Structure 1
């Protein structure tokens, strides 16, 4: 999808037959003028009407994703244990008296 920023009065051409002009904006609405041959059907689409097809994931991909999540949880547990041990060692080191 092409995304453009237009100023009022600017237009874009689609092929040689269709011209779309930005006519301004007001109160959260934009005004667009479309010049096209009558044989081209122009349909206004509401945001609620947007259809996004659901992508299917294969079983093998689901299994791989599951393994990755499981490994990530295990790694996070190990990280937490390491941080806990580091904290305990720092605390122990701070309590140990220094002999001179």
Structure 2
């Protein structure tokens, strides 16, 4: 399962031009919430890892004002969650090239 630790190992080390903030909340809409907010001068957004297994991702391109991703996936959609996080990784790492 992808979670906060996965993000810290697989994405965060590459986001050198991003400001990253981590938050944790005991009670949210879908249980406990590990929230990651990331911002650069080009893009920004968040990832929400819910204790119940839900996953939320939102990314905005600040240069165009376009919303690139805005997805909320249920806990039983592991394959879709993996695909979404890989897509997010590619979007964010494009800024590093």
TM-score by length of 1: 0.28
TM-score by length of 2: 0.29
Larger Rg: 1
Task: Return the structure number with greater strand share.
Answer: 2
Higher relative contact order, chain-length normalized (CA < 8 Å, sep 6+): 2
Task: Return the structure number with greater helix share.
Answer: 1
